[in-house]
Structure 1
């Protein structure tokens, strides 16, 4: 376990240990914590490290040129397509212009013909049909589409959506009993049912036939329903497997009515986008057609929902559906019941729809507050558990507690994935039944559904896919689930997968970012899962202006420039980064291209999401009258980031007296002499859990110098710590009021090559001489103005390089010596280092910043 300093550091060994442990953990945990010691383009180490691992695909230049020329698209747009694997001109053209004629015959889907026959039989016989839906946005839109279909067919039907908290996901026996009591002869499930083996067998015994329409992963044992319509069945020949629940109903409607039901694409698009289905293949066609309908011919429910969301139907995009409409459609099912969302989507009038939209908007606000409250409580529980178990390695999070709301478990699990980047399961416990119901979310590279399948013995019910799942289980098995999931995650998640990654479509120059290029990228819409908004990287940008914006300065706006071109870049929620991005700094940006429209003017803009920089942040505070008061403020702002190094014993004692119990490592330059990354005492720290080590244990990114070194040893130590593998981001220099700062100007000068040449020329003229302080060296000093010690050093360099021969006190110029650079002389290098140390404390701010940056740019150790 890393040493957390709670008392005074009294030796170099203790200072090194306190820093070493954190440095070793940074090396081991860099990927898990979202920091990469060496990343990106291979140019070197980044002082300010990117949050994400930037993944850049390669696109062949001839393919980019071909797509650009043949399809008449901007090269930037062509580069995105090529990087995403589009090679065929015909297929790419079809992608750019999705057409309803390309929708697949629904009868190619296994079970579709049987489902159509059974529903038509129910229509002919007047049997009562019950549509059994689900409470999320996909389930609600699926149910609403079935309502449209059955209404148009004149069916005798009703709907049933289970209560998320009381009943959980999918078919349940009590609901089947209710259906039997109501005289239901046919149950049609939407967005569920593929795993309901026991429940469908029970329904059959009660005389109820079941038609399943679903899109979730089928289990090994399938239910014996009248028809199973799910393109993911192993032997289903349907070519596109990515339909959501509403998409499967869209295909069922096509089969029932004998035509492409394009008027059903609106709700099918919402379900597809809300359920994070890949926006490729048929989903792209459905989403594109649906968005057109939502914008131009919205139903009453959509008009009301967009109004409640503060947007106009004509401005709807896949992003606005995902982040504005879908959360409100989900809110009813999460906190109360999904019936309100269903009634909204089936409302006949604007007045009726407005009532339900207002209710869902209110519930969404409550949901947001409840998610925040539950996450804080769950996070506290997780941290407490980590302390109790001694911070042993953990690779998955499983938490259960009475009083939590199962309806928001998935949102809370997503927050855990965002913060810790671990697979997370959040469960709400019912004290009366002893059951836990909740949701799970995963990270890239870990198949959550496959992992839960291996834990099926402890679950009453579960379903989902690679990235997300819902489950119900007994409280007594939670610990077993946690242990098993942890082992599975440890075995299957690779080292690289521990850092969240962002796929970059293109690396571009700022001159490539034009309004025309951004407009052409819109041809790739709708964006979403499987067809994300294109991300670009722009390297070597210089920040011209940096400022915050918005309420409470939460957002950030930069003006950046490159080769005479400038542009505004904006980042939401990153206002706190303003101090880390000062004017003059050079950065690489990762972001998305957008259009900024204001007062009728349109211009290209970058919405950036991540950045990195090889520049070292530097704050020169040598003007501070009270350095300890300044340090006090730095400690209060972030003690876990700091390492403090003092130039004098007096400064060290004062700092220790005031801050020795804060946990901040404090030492002298002499304490920094050894290499903290190779110290054997760090071995224990490397065994710590890389995935869940706290931030304070991972990072000491802020080096505070109280005074600058003025000798060789201190200079070498500081240079070593400035090397990029140390992971420093910021160096702050405070004054050491106890040290002598005055320097003789002559002592601060160092001869350059022409001065060495001048002195050597004098040696050539003299030919030979005796080495004594009052002789030729003194003459040279008086004639050149250099101190005698400097002249003596020059002579020693000439002797070492073989330009002068020495025999006792006799000195003689060597005829025709081999030419050698001054840097080959150890005496010259040592003299330069001594001069550098003496001059360092009196450098100007700009000079000192350049010196610090040059130390960072030096070749990394062991590189």
Structure 2
């Protein structure tokens, strides 16, 4: 058995509905199953989702504050008033700044940009920046992707005579800033039909209102910010992202061309994944490690050479960022395990001086991946006594709402259900930790701490074709609230498996079923290699793609989780480095079993490392033991069939069996003396009456070609049958003994039994051995054991 890493939740498809979708909308069975699972209620909803046209786009003037903001900006353009765009240092903020900058510049505005430095200024608008803008003659500041919490800064702007327009998409706090205009689809009183726009989406709506039309050329920037900020890719966001990807593929924008080039992106395969995993992280890297200005310059460059210079710079910063994240993550894990060695905390809060506050959000995500707990990572500044942190959550724990209950310790915080940023006094960290853990106990169940994998469709391997996978792309772009479909394939045979990658930490396999095959890749699945037996049926969850290589195209599964729902046999007969082979397995699940006392000494390198029990000749262990969920390592061969079958009757059902079957000497190849040997030796004894062991043994075994063990064995058998007596080194024949068969001797029986045991256990095929153990395990009640 191999237990899945996550809880699998998957649908029972209504085949009638699925077939209706196939016929009505001309989609593949796979696509129809996804549509059915995702709860589309009407044909109109499905048609709209598949067509993804401009009907998803809403009038920008439906946004509260737009009617006030646009005339004020137009006045500034006409009067040549200096306008400052105040952005944020993440990919959404940089994209938002680029969108509004290029819009105002195209309209002839006197415009400049300002993105605060994360390390010297922190998040959001600040008084010093506003005063600097005032001294430069600025009368209008427009924030993008920030500002909804800037109550104090709005007061400063009013005192300075600066009109402040806030455009943002973050959750509004109880008190809103007093501004000239605030545009945020989530603010109270805003009836905009789609409140889930990214910051760049809000900036784009302002641009459209200013331009008087829908600006296609800006959609590449919009797609980058929208996808990178992990907002729901539904409704208007879905349209903006999909159209933006098309524009980004075809763009002649010098900066974006250079950025794609430095990321090594081929336009033919450019999708939301390239934006999310290549472009977005590079833009974010600039603001995480230093100033976000190079990223903004790359996105607004007017020549390819200029764009390439800045793209190279942020690419180097991204490489530095990756190394820093690795180091801090390792430090943070040590902090977690030192503070909570038994994993009892419901919420993880770790803090340390010197951690780069620009990457602690990524570190928080890594800790959620490792421990699956809501997590806050804080960087402490010893000079100010403040800690700046990033929070990441799990399903069932609304981070923004839960932090809102701790406002007394959080002078500044903001965010969403799954992520937040905060600043607090270092002295309040322990109180926050305790309070969040107390709150988590009231909202989270034990089940919530096991990651959930939502599966969209259960498929047969023959349904997985190139055409079906291409049809699934009609549901793209994929992201939050429209994830790439997870497919479950059940009962597959594992035809091939091998580790790949420089560190051999990835897994490549081929699955088969019913004459069909499917290649699969599992990144960071290398450790699973030794947990999969080629002879066990496998269930696997993953995302489908098409692998293109050397002109060939094949369906491929990107594995996310894998399970084997029956006990497995791993054949270690004949292997030399047994301890090394077992080393990677969970120590507490291994149980070494010995049927012979001497084996514990002969295999002490194995027996001393793991829990070990010895099974007596009667099939009883030294103590009662339940092996449900355990990994049985059978160190040696049973002495008798009854010994092993009796023991297996009372132990439960193991997850795995690892037969080693160590023995000093093979009974099968040494064999028992033949009946002819017994007859000849008995006749010899009758003729000579007395046999002197010390003087006659060597001569006799040489003449007959026997081993000394053979002679000793026959004498013991004759002794047990009362055919001879043994006294002071002599063997004497018994006159007229009772007629008996060789099989009446216990020693003879055991010899024959041991030879049979070898044949059936040591020299049997894998399949024969598995069938033998299966017969013993069959019909046992399985008890769930936690890994």
TM-score by structure 2 length? 0.84
Q: Is the 8 A contact 2:11 2:458 kept in 1?
A: no
TM-superposed CA distance for 1:180, in Å, is 2.5
Match of residue 413 from structure 1: 364
Q: Does 1:668 align with 2:643?
A: no
Greater Cα shift, 308-317 or 117-126: 117-126
Q: Deviations over 1:43-83 (max 9, x none)?
A: xxxx1111121111344333222221111111221111111
TM-superposed CA distance for 1:447, in Å, is 0.6
1:333 and 1:526 map into 2 onto residues whose CA distance is 26
TM-superposed CA distance for 1:651, in Å, is 2.4
Q: Is the 8 A contact 2:396 2:444 kept in 1?
A: yes
Q: Does 1:630 align with 2:578?
A: yes
Distance verdict in 2 for CA 1:737–1:83, change over 3 Å: same
Q: Is the 8 A contact 2:83 2:111 kept in 1?
A: yes
Q: Deviations over 1:380-402 (max 9, x none)?
A: 12222224xxx472011111111
1:161 to 115, 130, 149: 115
TM-superposed CA distance for 1:580, in Å, is 2.6
2:131 to 177, 185, 192: 177
Q: Is the 8 A contact 1:715 1:837 kept in 2?
A: no
2:661 and 2:181 map into 1 onto residues whose CA distance is 76
Distance verdict in 2 for CA 1:839–1:732, change over 3 Å: closer
1:484 and 1:712 map into 2 onto residues whose CA distance is 59
* 1:779-798 paired onto structure 2 within 5 Å: none
Q: Deviations over 1:331-385 (max 9, x none)?
A: 1000111000001111000010010000011000000011001111111122222
Match of residue 524 from structure 2: 573
1:328 to 282, 288, 293: 282
Q: Is the 8 A contact 2:634 2:657 kept in 1?
A: no
1:735 to 620, 638, 662: 662
Q: Is the 8 A contact 1:635 1:642 kept in 2?
A: no
Distance verdict in 2 for CA 1:647–1:89, change over 3 Å: same
2:540 and 2:596 map into 1 onto residues whose CA distance is 41
Match of residue 825 from structure 1: none
TM-score by structure 1 length? 0.77
TM-superposed CA distance for 1:201, in Å, is 1.9
Q: What SS does the corresponding residue of 1:858 show, helix, strand or coil? A: coil
1:272 and 1:717 map into 2 onto residues whose CA distance is 62
Match of residue 642 from structure 1: 590
Q: Does 1:703 align with 2:632?
A: yes
Higher relative contact order (CA 8 A, sep 6+): 1
Runs of 5+ consecutive residues of structure 1 not aligned to the other structure: 1-46, 679-699, 747-784, 790-833
1:107 to 43, 57, 61: 61
Distance verdict in 2 for CA 1:745–1:267, change over 3 Å: farther
Q: Is the 8 A contact 1:648 1:739 kept in 2?
A: no
Distance verdict in 2 for CA 1:423–1:716, change over 3 Å: farther
Aligned CA RMSD, in angstroms, stands at 3.0
TM-superposed CA distance for 1:464, in Å, is 0.7
Match of residue 779 from structure 2: 858
Distance verdict in 2 for CA 1:707–1:169, change over 3 Å: same
TM-superposed CA distance for 1:673, in Å, is 5.3
* 1:506-517 paired onto structure 2 within 5 Å: 506-517=457-468
2:601 and 2:502 map into 1 onto residues whose CA distance is 44
2:565 to 597, 611, 614: 614
Match of residue 387 from structure 2: 436
* 1:352-391 paired onto structure 2 within 5 Å: 352-387=306-341, 391=342
Q: Is the 8 A contact 1:507 1:537 kept in 2?
A: yes
1:642 and 1:201 map into 2 onto residues whose CA distance is 66
Q: Is the 8 A contact 2:667 2:755 kept in 1?
A: no
1:486 to 431, 434, 437: 437
TM-superposed CA distance for 1:722, in Å, is 5.4
Match of residue 730 from structure 2: none
TM-superposed CA distance for 1:431, in Å, is 1.5
2:770 to 849, 855, 858: 849
Distance verdict in 2 for CA 1:156–1:570, change over 3 Å: same
2:778 and 2:205 map into 1 onto residues whose CA distance is 60
Distance verdict in 2 for CA 1:223–1:717, change over 3 Å: farther
Match of residue 818 from structure 1: none
Q: Deviations over 1:738-775 (max 9, x none)?
A: 998899999xxxxxxxxxxxxxxxxxxxxxxxxxxxxx
Q: Is the 8 A contact 1:673 1:717 kept in 2?
A: no
Larger radius of gyration: 2
Distance verdict in 2 for CA 1:734–1:474, change over 3 Å: farther
Match of residue 181 from structure 2: 227
Greater Cα shift, 271-280 or 523-532: 523-532
Q: Is the 8 A contact 2:652 2:781 kept in 1?
A: no
Greater Cα shift, 409-418 or 92-101: 92-101
Q: Deviations over 1:4-45 (max 9, x none)?
A: xxxxxxxxxxxxxxxxxxxxxxxxxxxxxxxxxxxxxxxxxx
Q: Is the 8 A contact 2:496 2:511 kept in 1?
A: yes
Q: Is the 8 A contact 2:117 2:292 kept in 1?
A: yes
1:363 and 1:53 map into 2 onto residues whose CA distance is 37
1:392 and 1:527 map into 2 onto residues whose CA distance is 34
Aligned length: 704
Q: What SS does the corresponding residue of 1:559 show, helix, strand or coil? A: strand
Q: Does 1:274 align with 2:222?
A: no
Q: What SS does the corresponding residue of 1:551 show, helix, strand or coil? A: coil
Q: Is the 8 A contact 2:22 2:28 kept in 1?
A: yes
TM-superposed CA distance for 1:273, in Å, is 0.4
Q: Is the 8 A contact 1:165 1:437 kept in 2?
A: no
Q: Is the 8 A contact 1:621 1:732 kept in 2?
A: yes
1:286 to 240, 246, 250: 240
2:758 and 2:779 map into 1 onto residues whose CA distance is 21
TM-superposed CA distance for 1:470, in Å, is 1.1
Distance verdict in 2 for CA 1:55–1:243, change over 3 Å: same
Q: What SS does the corresponding residue of 2:379 show, helix, strand or coil? A: strand
1:264 to 218, 221, 234: 218
Greater Cα shift, 339-348 or 549-558: 549-558
2:622 and 2:83 map into 1 onto residues whose CA distance is 78
Q: Deviations over 1:424-458 (max 9, x none)?
A: 11111112111111211111221111111111211
Q: Is the 8 A contact 1:301 1:347 kept in 2?
A: yes
Match of residue 302 from structure 2: 348
TM-superposed CA distance for 1:712, in Å, is 5.0
TM-superposed CA distance for 1:567, in Å, is 2.2
1:636 and 1:553 map into 2 onto residues whose CA distance is 15
Distance verdict in 2 for CA 1:178–1:853, change over 3 Å: farther
Q: Does 1:549 align with 2:476?
A: no
Q: Is the 8 A contact 1:708 1:840 kept in 2?
A: no
Q: What SS does the corresponding residue of 2:624 show, helix, strand or coil? A: coil
Q: Is the 8 A contact 2:546 2:553 kept in 1?
A: yes
* 1:26-175 paired onto structure 2 within 5 Å: 47-175=1-129
1:186 and 1:58 map into 2 onto residues whose CA distance is 57
Q: Is the 8 A contact 1:673 1:716 kept in 2?
A: no
Distance verdict in 2 for CA 1:151–1:261, change over 3 Å: same
1:102 and 1:861 map into 2 onto residues whose CA distance is 52
1:711 and 1:601 map into 2 onto residues whose CA distance is 54
1:362 and 1:720 map into 2 onto residues whose CA distance is 62
Distance verdict in 2 for CA 1:116–1:503, change over 3 Å: same
Q: Is the 8 A contact 1:534 1:592 kept in 2?
A: yes
Q: Does 1:210 align with 2:164?
A: yes
TM-superposed CA distance for 1:283, in Å, is 0.6
2:495 and 2:581 map into 1 onto residues whose CA distance is 28
2:192 and 2:104 map into 1 onto residues whose CA distance is 24
Q: Is the 8 A contact 2:578 2:606 kept in 1?
A: no
1:63 and 1:634 map into 2 onto residues whose CA distance is 49
Q: Is the 8 A contact 1:131 1:157 kept in 2?
A: yes
Distance verdict in 2 for CA 1:733–1:291, change over 3 Å: same
